[in-house]
Structure 1
Amino acid sequence: MQQICFQTNLYAKLKNSAQWRELTVQELKAFLGMIIVMGIHQLPEAAIYWSSDPYLNVNAVLNVMTLARYKKIIENLQCNDNLFQSATNDPGYDKLYKIRPLISALNKNCLKVYHPSTSLAVDESMVAFKGRTSLKQYMPMKPVNRGYQIWCLADVNTGFISNFDVYTGKSAASRGEFKDCQMCERVVLELCKPFFNSNRTVVFDNLFSTFSLMKQLRKQGLYSCGTVRGNRKGLPQFLASKLQSLNRGEFTFAVKSGVAAVKWQDSKAVCLLSTALNPKDVVFIKRKLKDGSTIRISCPEVVHVYNSTMGGVDHFDQIRESHRQLLCTISTVKTKRKPAVISNETSKAIDKWFFIKNEEGPITCFLF
């Protein structure tokens, strides 16, 4: 908060913003609370919140500050010093430089206030945005198919986001401690870095899974499990084979360097890599036939564990979507501002609700 106030005041001073009054931490907290209220009570234009018409204005907003002050804060709001930003052609250029301190502070505080369980999930989350930005991604198979792509590390049991980063393009993968890794491997390693040598289990889908990643995580004191694309390098040939050699419920596996590759036949073939479980262990699950009857078939425990733990980020997305009013529309704030900032604040508010609910008992997210 103090960093944002300092940089905002510095920016306003450098640009000689007319009639600027220094922003304080107390006023910034009131401003952020007001933004959340605007997201709950949505109106077509920001000025309507300060309307003289009693049927249109919102006392919880107009009693906090004037419209002129609100516009001034929006006009000058900064998280980082623009004077030290690298040029766009510089190898160290960061597209998120302007909000990088905010992202770092949020991640640091999330690691401080919450101790996650022994199972973590890595997945992507989309923040809807259809404006102009080089960060916008299009993923046609996702419920939110246009917007910011955010890599998340979530607690499997609660959906609490312990670490996250915003995808800024493939060029960002060539920097940092894991610059020699593939992009998918770098994402997982960067997110899991705070939990190295904790012997936790990390699960992820076939977007991230590689033989090399599994070995690196094991060296860093983490177990892992994930579905895998059979045609990736370093994997047994039977994973990529499309020949129907297994009956339903049957499976085969191979182990190399402590990494187990498992192929199990359900209605379709399922391929996984794991360092967390014995590939020989089997459980029995129910499957429904076309005539409505059910049968019990054998299933490798690694498949069963993956299916029961992979939904950590999806759990968070479900909660966030059901309280979408907290994600205020970008037009309420400022068209040129990146909505990832507001989304991150909202996401951390939902994270805090998870924490309080688990520690102090049931409370709805809206009431919180």
Structure 2
Amino acid sequence: MSTWRPSEEAPQDFNMVLYDIEDESGNEEEPSGYEEICDESEIIEEEVYECHSPEAPPYSPLPSPQRRDRLPSMYEQPPSRIASRDRSRSPIFSSDIATMPVVVMLYEENGTQLGADGGDDVFLDPDTHALYVSPVERDRNERRENELRHGSRSGRRGGRTGSVRGRSARGYPSQGRRRARQWVLGYPLNEIWVDDADVPPELLRLATDVLRKRQTSMQDAERNAELESASESNSDDEFFDASNGADDLPRLEGQNLLFEWFPMDTFQGHEEDFKVERTGSVRVFNSAYDAFRSYWDDDVLNLIVTETNQYATTIASTGFQSEWYPTNLHEILCLFSFWMMLGIVKMPTIVSCFSVDPLLKTEVFRRIFTRRRYEMLIRALHFVDSNPVVDNSNPSNTGARCYDRLHRLRPIITHLNSRFQSNYVLDKNICIDESLTLWKGRLNFKQYIRTKASKFGIKTFELCEASTGYLWSFIVYTGKQSATELEQSPGVLKSTAVVMKLIGPLLNKGYRLFMDNWYNSPLLARFLKLNGTDCVGTLRPSRRDVPLIVNKAPLKRGEFIARHSGDVSILAWQDKKRVTMISTCHGAYTALPTVPTRPPSRPVPFKPQVVLDYNKFMGGVDMKDQMLEPYLLERKRCAKWYMKLFKRLINVSILNSRTLLQSSTKKHHDHLAFRLHLVDYILQKHLSHCPLSRSHTASISRSLHQQPDRFIRSTHWPVLLEPTESSIARNRNFAKRCVVCLQNGLKSQKTPYCCESCKVPLCIKDCFKAYHTQSSQKL
């Protein structure tokens, strides 16, 4: 096996190789027009779940709530006020006054208020918006709008005006800085039916009937038996998640499970105190290799080596057995680096990686493996004994179901789940969502998710950090058999069991968990709140215990209604469609988006704060998937599904390693440069220790013995000493004292020659031979 970089030094910085720029971690200031480009940070915020409110046929249509003076729609042309605003974080509560409330007040240079004669204006928060727009800035903004209106483009290509620095334009309002920009502010949201006395009697009668039917159904034992039989007869590849099904959490026994809903003016919910003292990497990592080996240590690699060598002996192929030789830990790591380079250098096929054609030749792959050795290694790669483990803990598993469907990868999944959790402490905001590993072959637990990029594949439930996308815990979905791994109790929905399994080690620490409507329910939110964890997310209006007033209220665009039951609040907001949210730490207050995406000519809409926080912190899993997309190790076709999932886990561990290094060094590391550093270090350290084939070793030995006598198998040759600058300036030959002569007492004897390998000055006549023979051992 050849060595990596035998005659050249490794590049000091891959950022210079990739982008021809110096390390960005320095303290030098960037030019004013500089825009940081990070492929992995261009994250698309996940849209909240939107649904149409179902109607109740037996009852007459509900009238719209009557108000004395209704505020005009925010999408009409209001007599708006214009102000220069960078960002807004302070919540703005809705107002019940008939006149238009002032959101922004403007001041002259001398501090006098514009329009001070209007004595009814009230400024809500002095820190919410900018207070002053100078005449010069106003003229410049008007000129800029005129240029955009008439098709004149200035600044950077694409017609985007204003300099954007950092990540503020990519959904990270807490970082970077944006120039002042004019915004037209819309009207605040209107809350309807603030008190129960405002609710129409038709809706009260409807809610009373539903509550009466629900109490009757809860006392009906036959209905519970039907739900249990329906869950057992459900298809093997689907979760039983009936929208109105029972969800019995044993840990809530003795608690108040009755949800009585009240107006939001009595809501006293508070955010849990975060009890974790230190977040980020548990220990300090100084290189990409150290962070990566914290997940792939010698124990798990030796397991792979042992199982691979054992399985290779059982392959019934004469050609394979004649050419196979055992692998070792170093070769497995080089195999990982081969796959990493396949994610960076996109090759059409595996065969083309070893091509010598000038159009396809790529030196890095041919220097790691030969084509034959790579094919044999892939064929023999194994992680566990081929005999599957019988699962007798679930009586419903009969026939093929009694075998663990993940037994081929079970040691790897268990090991990585443990290491992901032990190496990193999560920040406060976390999220749970699904991810999909592409697989289009035959597989009895293959899933289809239309919102994912892969559409078909192996589904995993993942708990990630919202800000970095760090994968902390995951569960591979295997159909109905997943109930055993989830430790699902009778009567508990599988969506609830997934949350309890993933969030279990983090309870009572003050985390804030974001989930979508498939997981959330009022009962689950109360369970998490009682265990010291806040719950925020979208909610299906048809879930059990959702108040009918919130579900059936006829909202118009820009209106919302909210109710609470102790520590759980539910809010319905009408935008383009109806959005229902649930939270244990948000009230009914509203705010402006911190990074508006609308052009300055359109009004910036107010949104409920719970919606803004959900859009900001729910994208952790999608962020991880988007950062992995340019470097997919599993892109090439695989004959075995578990090999594709194994490559996916390696890729995720690389991304987690980058997060560990950034947390340790407190510096940003370019994703591509990080992967190149990792591959280069692995090949430098392990490629020379990979095993050689018997035929290759025999051919080397035979070639050495068959060489003619005139061939000297040595690297010690006399060469001239390299001259110094002073000797070149004086035009003299450079010489040093001979070490042999110096040992023999001849201190004045100098020589211009030295040994090429030893770098020792020696006289070429006798001293060179004496130094390299046994007679000079005393030297």
State the TM bucket, normalised to the shorter chain: 0.7 to 0.9
Task: Name the aligned partner's letter for residue 591 of structure 2.
Answer: F
Corresponding residue for 1:184? 495
- For 1:12, the equivalent position in structure 2 comes to 312
Seen in structure 2, the aligned counterparts of structure 1 residues 269 and 31 have a Cα distance that, compared at 3 Å, is same
Residues 488, 494 of structure 2: 8 Å contact kept:
no
1:351 paired to 2:660: no
When residues 337 and 126 of structure 1 are mapped into structure 2, their CA distance, relative to the original with a 3 A threshold, is closer
Q: Does 1:129 align with 2:439?
A: yes
Task: Report how far residue 102 of structure 1 moved.
Answer: 1.2
* Cα contact 1:92–1:175 (8 A) shared by 2: no
Residue in 2 that maps onto 1:262: 571
Task: List alignment gaps of at least 5 residues for structure 2.
Answer: 1-300, 392-397, 675-779
1:209 is aligned, of 520, 524, 527, to 520
Indicate the SS of the match to 2:420: helix
SS of the residue corresponding to residue 360 of structure 2 reads coil
Moved over 6 A (4+): 287-291
Structure 2 contact 557–576 (Cα < 8 Å) conserved: no
Structure 1 stretch displaced more, 354-363 or 203-212: 354-363
State the Cα distance separating 1:4 from its structure 2 match.
Answer: 1.4
Deviates more, 1:353-362 or 1:219-228: 353-362
Alpha carbons of 1:97 and 1:311: their partners in 2 closer, same or farther (altered >3 Å)? same
Q: In structure 2, what residue type is equivalent to 1:24?
A: N
Asked if structure 1 preserves the Cα contact closer than 8 Å seen for 2:388 and 2:404, the reply is no
Whether the 8 Å contact between 1:122 and 1:313 is mirrored in structure 2 is yes
- Corresponding residue of 1:301: 609
- Answer yes or no: is 1:285 the counterpart of 2:592: yes
1:237 positional shift:
1.6
Distance 1:72 1:211, change over 3 A: same
Deviations 1:215-239 (A, max 9, x none): 3323443221111101012221234
8 Å Cα contact 2:515-2:538 kept in structure 1: yes
* CA deviation after TM superposition for structure 1 residue 68, in Å: 2.4
Distance 1:197 1:278 in 2: 19
Percent of paired sites with the same residue: 26
1:85-234 matches, within 5 Å, as: 85-86=389-390, 89=399, 92-180=402-490, 181-234=492-545
In 2, the alpha carbon distance for the partners of 1:293 and 1:330 equals 46
1:238 maps to which residue? 549
RMSD over aligned CA atoms reads: 2.7
Provide the C-alpha distance between the structure 2 equivalents of 1:84 and 1:173, rounded to a whole number of angstroms: 18
Secondary structure of the residue aligned to 1:105 is: helix
Going from structure 1 to structure 2, the CA distance change for 1:218 and 1:23 (only over 3 Å counts) comes to farther
How far apart are 1:147 and its partner, in Å? 1.9
Aligned residue for 2:444, secondary structure, equals coil
The answer to whether the aligner puts 1:330 opposite 2:636 as a matched pair is yes
TM-score normalised by structure 1 residue count? 0.87
- Report the Cα offset of residue 200 of structure 1: 0.6
Residue deviations 1:132-168, cap 9 Å, x none? 2223222234333122222111111111111122222
The answer on 1:312 being equivalent to 2:620 is yes
| Amino acid paired to 1:152 | E
The unaligned stretches of length 5 or more in structure 1 are none
Residue identity matched to 2:653? K
Between 1:27-36 and 1:346-355, the stretch displaced more is 346-355
CA distance in 2, matches of 1:90, 1:130: 22
Question: Which structure shows the bigger proportion of residues in helix conformation?
Answer: 1
TM-score (norm. length: structure 2): 0.43
Partner in structure 1 of residue 769 of structure 2: none
Asked if the contact 2:570/2:581 (under 8 Å) is kept, the reply is: yes
Deviation of the 1:84 alpha carbon: 4.3
In structure 2, do the counterparts of structure 1 residues 244 and 290 end up closer, same or farther at CA, with 3 Å as the change threshold?
A: farther
Report the AA paired with residue 317 of structure 1.
D
The number of equivalent residue pairs is 359
* Residue deviations 1:95-117 (CA, integer Å, cap 9, x gap): 22211211222222221222210
Q: CA deviation at 1:2?
A: 1.8
2:331 is aligned with 1:27: yes
Paired letter, 1:2: N
Residue pair 1:227, 1:271 contacting (<8 A) in 2 also: yes
Given that 2:307 and 2:383 are in contact with CA atoms closer than 8 Å, whether structure 1 keeps it comes out as: yes
Question: What letter matches 2:437 in structure 1?
Answer: V
Structure 2 CA distance for partners of 1:336 and 1:296, relative to 1, 3 Å: closer
Aligned mates of 1:289, 1:68 — CA distance in 2: 57
Q: Give the residue type in structure 2 aligned to 1:267.
A: K
* Cα offsets for 1:185-212 (capped at 9, x unmatched): 1222222123222221110110111223
Matching residue's letter, 1:161: L
Cα drift, residue 90 of structure 1 = 5.9
Q: Structure 1 residues 232-241 or 26-35, which shifts more?
A: 232-241
Letter in 2 for 1:128: L
Where 1:130 maps in the other structure, the secondary structure is coil
Alpha-carbon distance in structure 1 between the residues aligned to 2:486 and 2:650: 26
- Cα offsets for 1:237-277 (capped at 9, x unmatched): 23432x41466243221215x322222333333212222x1
The more displaced of 206-215 and 25-34 is 206-215
Structure with more of its chain in strand, by fraction: 1
1:2 pairs with 2:308:
no
CA distance in 2, matches of 1:75, 1:179: 41
Among 664, 667, 670, which residue is 1:364 paired with? Answer: 670
* Residue identity matched to 1:77: L
Q: Which amino acid aligns with 1:186?
A: A
Residues 1:60 and 2:364 aligned together: yes
Query: Conserved in 1, the CA contact under 8 Å of 2:417 and 2:474?
Result: yes
Aligned partners of 1:10 and 1:288: how far apart in 2? 58
Of residues 341, 346, 351, the one that matches 1:47 is 351
Q: Answer yes or no: is the 8 Å Cα contact 2:486–2:501 preserved in 1.
A: no
Given residue 166 of structure 1, which amino acid in structure 2 is its aligned partner?
V
Q: 1:239 to 1:142 in 2, by over 3 A?
A: farther
Distance 1:288 1:200, change over 3 A: closer
The letter for the 2-side match of 1:50 is F
